[in-house]
Structure 1
Amino acid sequence: MSSAPEKGHTLSNPVIPGFHPDPSICRAGDDYYLACSSFEYYPGVPVFHSRDLVHWTQIGNALDRPGQLRLPPDSSSSGGLYAPTLRHHDGRFWLVVTNVSADGNLLFTATDPAGPWSDPIRLPGVRGIDPDLAWDDDGTCWCTVAGVSQVRIDPLTGETLGEPRRVWSGPPGAKAPEAPHLYRIGDWWYLLIAEGGTERCHGVSIARSRTPDGPFEPCPANPILTHRGTDHPVQNTGHGDLVQGPDGSWWMVFLGVRPGGGSPGWHVLGRETFLAPVTWIDDWPVVGEVTTDLAPPPWPLREPVAPPVRDDFELSDLAPAWISPRSRSAEDCTTKERAGWLSLRARGASLDDPGVVFVGRRQQDLSCRARTLADPAEGHGGLAVRLDERHHYGIEATAGEVRVIARIGPLRSVVASRPSDGGPVVLRIEVVATREVTEARQGPDTVVLGVEDREGGFVELARLDGRYLSTEVAGGFTGRVIGMYASVGTVHFDWFDYEPGAH
């Protein structure tokens, strides 16, 4: 397998679909590693590996121990971990990130990016989010944060060396200069930033200097990446990071969204990781076309497809793709209580509760199907599509009933129910993307919830508009997560499967 996509190759973007925002990338030899924001979810900061920049495998989560990641029970959704920077320097991997819910800026190190990662080194003198690390030839470590300001630090102790100072903050009047990354490339130091806010006006701009602390000269072609004001099927493009392949080619990873439906367009998977080629003209980077398998609007004919997922819960530890809001304890979530089953013990009253016991995986496809076999003999629980505490749909099994519950903002309703014999039941959620927009108010997709009967037939209980589980409705920075939960007592789940595509 080649170490980078061939020139002219049409990429199947996004390269990491679903809620994987704020990508940061580094290369060690022929291997690429990438980390993303995880916000209120535990474990935190998913880490991926690739040999070609296109095919990525999650190899772990950098913050997978309670001592590394503190997310208070009352911390808000879309809080938690913001915008990691991942770097390989002096034979070691370095990861710096902001925990906006507790502890501020934190630095971690590892010899293997799959882990284990160190306990946190606190950076109390680094003020601001989206921290970046870069090293000068003499070993000086520069930490740059949103705003944009910069300070020298000792990365082994977290001590700041001198006072922070403002540096270039983007084009005049730029909104929300953030996600800075500082690079030494050739004879220049480059400062890459995001600006315009992380919504439709998002973009990437760059400046250069002969020294790491400026003064910085802005690129005359700024922004070097944006889809603002266009009808491109990928929007909100920004928060980029550069990497050079072993063959000398250059690439940018960045976030973007795929809005669907009518006006104003709703994105439901969250911000995803995309890839584009980079060339250099007059010592400035030029970002190539964001090529995809997507047809022109109103909607893609094809989409990147993640492989099917099947988990029979036969291992003692959950795979790294499984995440939970804020925390996950062995007492509340275990595969050891009943062999070959995942057992969830409720501690929050419902999905509305920040303390709910929920284990899910990011929705990675515009259309998909998720199923699980639930045994509710000892409690209440089920299968849900979650955006946050105020926006979710679930199908819940009890000893005598299966019901569909919808939470949209301040409104919570049981929208359908069906008697149950109290035994194990297959719960099913299908997400069907809107393929043809026929009027402006049409939503991006439909979420269908139901059960499978003993013959394997599907009994639909509810068909709900997916727009209410979108960032444009709910706000925030995350995307959908599909998984299992317990609301009363203990619920056991024999297996879970996720299959991409329409059904």
Structure 2
Amino acid sequence: MRLPERPVISGFHPDPSVCRVGSIYYLVCSSFEYAPGVPLFRSEDLRTWQKIGHVLDRPSQLALDRAGPSGGIFAPTLRYHDGRLWMITTNFSDRDGMLLVTADDPSGPWSDPVWIDTPSGVDPDLAWDEDGTCLVTWSGVDDVGRTVIRQVPVDPVAGKVLGEPRQLWSGTGGKYPEAPHLYQIGDHWYLVVAEGGTDRGHAVTVARGPSPAGPFEPCPHNPVLTARGLDTPVQNTGHADLVRRSDGSWAMVFLGVRARGGTPHWHVLGRETFACEIVWDDDGWPRAGEPVEPPYGGRPEEHEELTAGDLPLSWVAAGGFPADVLGPDEGGVRRLTARGGSGRTFVGRRQEHFTMTARASLDLAASHGVGGLELRVDHRHAVTVEAGDGTVRAVATIGEARAVLGALSVSELAVGEPPSGEPAAGEPPSVPRVTLELRTVEPSGPSPAHIPGPDEIVAGVVGPEGFRELGRLDGRYLSTEVAGGFTGRMVGLTCARGELAVTSFTYRGTDGPEGAPAG
């Protein structure tokens, strides 16, 4: 088994589920507290994927007002059956049971949810037996509180449970057997699950039986995929889904992380989607085959700019939809409004590259609040370059600790636009505009008493004389190993009070060796 080193979908895109419609593959991922929810991708070869939208793209499908960090939408399953696409998942912060939506076209519209009142649990799967009965299989608990794989027949149109839940399998002994997926292949029904928890012990195990109800016997060479104890760039591999190609061959998508830095290593981009071939041994058991990866040489630099039109498909908001807090104004300006409550308003996109530069420009004369540009895992683990009350400051928030890394008064900043642009014709030179910048760069290196982190986060402002650093932070403090949870880094706009007038936002990222992209 040789694990892949390069993800097919980078950044915080965990818990992949895949299906094929004709010659085209479609894939969905978890989205947790962010909306729109359940990002949807399209591919012709399983190696290169294009985001085409989100399955849960409107408030009637997705309520996140009670979703804190790593709440909301957990692992989805995507299936194609009877000429229709089906997606089932849980909204952990809304109500018990599974929500099921359908679409005749993957580009939508997707239906409003049908709720299936199954016993509590996560990671629901959909399968249909030979009689056409729909089966929901999920990770729940038994009568004594142990995590097991359970199943129940349902009416997916009416959302009714048609029988008593049954226990299928408890795995091979690893903790948290979860992420079940059920397939009929030849004379057997195969059950693929994850075990070991979604960290360094994560693994994929397989069992099979004569019917979807079992009894299930474990594969003799379990786990069929794991990185535990291996010296590989990709760790935490698990939560797999199989797909059959049109030529009869099989492949598998799964999550993993690219941990960096010194021991114990930290991952910052979140759990990403990887893929590999599946080969079948003479006894009919699957094994992980060769990696399925994008081409060598790294991806080209990505440049994304926020314009006056529709938001890019990559943009989401924490705890609600972007339109709730970010709206257009005259002259291409967007207004970001503080939502209130304990968390900061945040709208942005995933950090998908190891080195990136993000910039946001604010019109301070038209702003009436405090906020700016933020790189975060959640609102308690963030680096923010914010403007307000006559000051621009770089602030690090790590749990209950909040430290100002550096600050300067607005009067110290040159007025107008940075070197990349000139003030608009006729614009009074007294209108204060400020351009904020965040970079992630390679760590500067270890000192005798310091183990290097995965990267460094550099915060500052951009003026006529170029970039002015306000402070920097070891990137380990914005890693999953420190913050916990199931997401990854996001970068975008934040507002803590009042409202901001945002004139521009840009993101540039690369995985190349040349370091942070030029601004």
Q: Same fold (TM over 0.5)?
A: yes
**Displacement after TM superposition at 1:339 (Å):** 3.7
Q: 1:255 to 1:436 in 2, by over 3 A?
A: farther
**Residues 1:418 and 2:408 aligned together:** yes
**Displacement after TM superposition at 1:345 (Å):** 1.3
**Following the alignment from structure 2 to structure 1, what is the Cα–Cα distance between the partners of residues 294 and 302?**
19
**Displacement after TM superposition at 1:433 (Å):** 3.1
1:182 matched residue in structure 2: 182
2:299 matched residue in structure 1: 305
Q: Counterpart of 1:225 in structure 2: which amino acid?
A: L
**Residues 1:227 and 2:227 aligned together:** yes
**Following the alignment from structure 2 to structure 1, what is the Cα–Cα distance between the partners of residues 206 and 322?**
43
Unaligned runs of 5+ in 2: 140-147, 412-430
**Following the alignment from structure 2 to structure 1, what is the Cα–Cα distance between the partners of residues 444 and 10?**
18
Aligned counterpart for 1:314 among listed residues 295, 304, 308: 308
Could you say what secondary structure the match of 1:228 adopts? coil
**Displacement after TM superposition at 1:248 (Å):** 2.1
Q: Name which of structure 1's ranges 108-117 and 23-32 shifts more when overlaid on structure 2.
A: 108-117
Could you say what secondary structure the match of 1:131 adopts? strand
**Displacement after TM superposition at 1:488 (Å):** 2.4
Q: C-alpha deviations, 1:14-45, integer Å up to 9, x for none?
A: 01000000000001001111000011111111
**Residues 1:369 and 2:357 aligned together:** yes
Could you say what secondary structure the match of 2:264 adopts? coil
1:428 matched residue in structure 2: 437
Could you say what secondary structure the match of 1:473 adopts? helix
Aligned counterpart for 2:79 among listed residues 72, 87, 90: 87
**Following the alignment from structure 1 to structure 2, what is the Cα–Cα distance between the partners of residues 249 and 258?**
28
Q: C-alpha deviations, 1:205-261, integer Å up to 9, x for none?
A: 001112111001110000000010111110000000001112222111000001111
**Following the alignment from structure 2 to structure 1, what is the Cα–Cα distance between the partners of residues 297 and 459?**
23
**Following the alignment from structure 1 to structure 2, what is the Cα–Cα distance between the partners of residues 213 and 47?**
30
1:398 matched residue in structure 2: 388
Q: Percent identity over the alignment?
A: 51
**Displacement after TM superposition at 1:293 (Å):** 8.6
Q: 1:436 to 1:257 in 2, by over 3 A?
A: farther
1:444 matched residue in structure 2: 454
**Displacement after TM superposition at 1:313 (Å):** 2.1
Q: Over the residues paired in the alignment, what is the CA RMSD in angstroms?
A: 2.2
User: Is the contact between residue 19 and residue 272 of structure 1 (CA under 8 Å) also seen in structure 2?
Assistant: yes
* TM-score, reference length from structure 1: 0.91
**Displacement after TM superposition at 1:305 (Å):** 3.3
**Following the alignment from structure 1 to structure 2, what is the Cα–Cα distance between the partners of residues 16 and 166?**
33
**Following the alignment from structure 2 to structure 1, what is the Cα–Cα distance between the partners of residues 46 and 473?**
37
**Displacement after TM superposition at 1:348 (Å):** 2.8
**Residues 1:63 and 2:53 aligned together:** no
**Following the alignment from structure 2 to structure 1, what is the Cα–Cα distance between the partners of residues 334 and 304?**
13
Q: Counterpart of 1:344 in structure 2: which amino acid?
A: L
1:253 matched residue in structure 2: 253
Q: 1:91 to 1:183 in 2, by over 3 A?
A: same
**Following the alignment from structure 1 to structure 2, what is the Cα–Cα distance between the partners of residues 210 and 222?**
19
**Following the alignment from structure 1 to structure 2, what is the Cα–Cα distance between the partners of residues 110 and 198?**
30
**Displacement after TM superposition at 1:76 (Å):** 2.2
Q: 1:303 to 1:401 in 2, by over 3 A?
A: farther
**Following the alignment from structure 2 to structure 1, what is the Cα–Cα distance between the partners of residues 82 and 385?**
50
User: Is the contact between residue 369 and residue 500 of structure 1 (CA under 8 Å) also seen in structure 2?
Assistant: yes
Q: Counterpart of 1:27 in structure 2: which amino acid?
A: R
Q: C-alpha deviations, 1:70-111, integer Å up to 9, x for none?
A: 1234x3211111000001111111000011111231111111
Q: 1:271 to 1:341 in 2, by over 3 A?
A: same
**Displacement after TM superposition at 1:291 (Å):** 6.8
Could you say what secondary structure the match of 1:207 adopts? strand
**Following the alignment from structure 1 to structure 2, what is the Cα–Cα distance between the partners of residues 470 and 69?**
27
**Following the alignment from structure 2 to structure 1, what is the Cα–Cα distance between the partners of residues 166 and 391?**
61
Could you say what secondary structure the match of 2:468 adopts? strand
**Following the alignment from structure 2 to structure 1, what is the Cα–Cα distance between the partners of residues 196 and 434?**
48
**Displacement after TM superposition at 1:310 (Å):** 2.3
1:458 matched residue in structure 2: 467
Within a 5 Å distance, the mapping from 1:24-35 to structure 2 comes to 24-35=17-28
Q: Counterpart of 2:247 in structure 1: which amino acid?
A: D
**Following the alignment from structure 1 to structure 2, what is the Cα–Cα distance between the partners of residues 136 and 307?**
46
1:166 matched residue in structure 2: 167
Aligned counterpart for 1:50 among listed residues 33, 43, 49: 43
**Displacement after TM superposition at 1:494 (Å):** 2.1
Q: 1:304 to 1:22 in 2, by over 3 A?
A: farther
Q: Counterpart of 2:78 in structure 1: which amino acid?
A: L
Q: 1:429 to 1:283 in 2, by over 3 A?
A: same
Could you say what secondary structure the match of 2:471 adopts? strand
**Displacement after TM superposition at 1:454 (Å):** 1.9
Runs of 4+ with deviation above 4 angstroms: 9-12, 289-294, 435-440
Q: Counterpart of 1:180 in structure 2: which amino acid?
A: P
Within a 5 Å distance, the mapping from 1:84-233 to structure 2 comes to 84-104=76-96, 105-146=98-139, 147-171=148-172, 173-233=173-233
**Displacement after TM superposition at 1:288 (Å):** 1.8
Within a 5 Å distance, the mapping from 1:269-348 to structure 2 comes to 269-281=269-281, 282-290=283-291, 304-305=298-299, 307-315=301-309, 317-328=310-321, 330=323, 332-335=325-328, 337-348=329-340
**Residues 1:498 and 2:507 aligned together:** yes
Q: 1:461 to 1:329 in 2, by over 3 A?
A: closer
**Following the alignment from structure 1 to structure 2, what is the Cα–Cα distance between the partners of residues 437 and 234?**
23
Find the structure with the greater CA-based Rg: 2
Q: 1:245 to 1:307 in 2, by over 3 A?
A: farther
Aligned counterpart for 2:68 among listed residues 63, 70, 76: 76
Q: 1:438 to 1:211 in 2, by over 3 A?
A: farther
**Following the alignment from structure 2 to structure 1, what is the Cα–Cα distance between the partners of residues 285 and 504?**
51
Q: Counterpart of 1:71 in structure 2: which amino acid?
A: L
Q: 1:230 to 1:342 in 2, by over 3 A?
A: same
Q: Counterpart of 2:506 in structure 1: which amino acid?
A: D
Q: 1:56 to 1:256 in 2, by over 3 A?
A: same
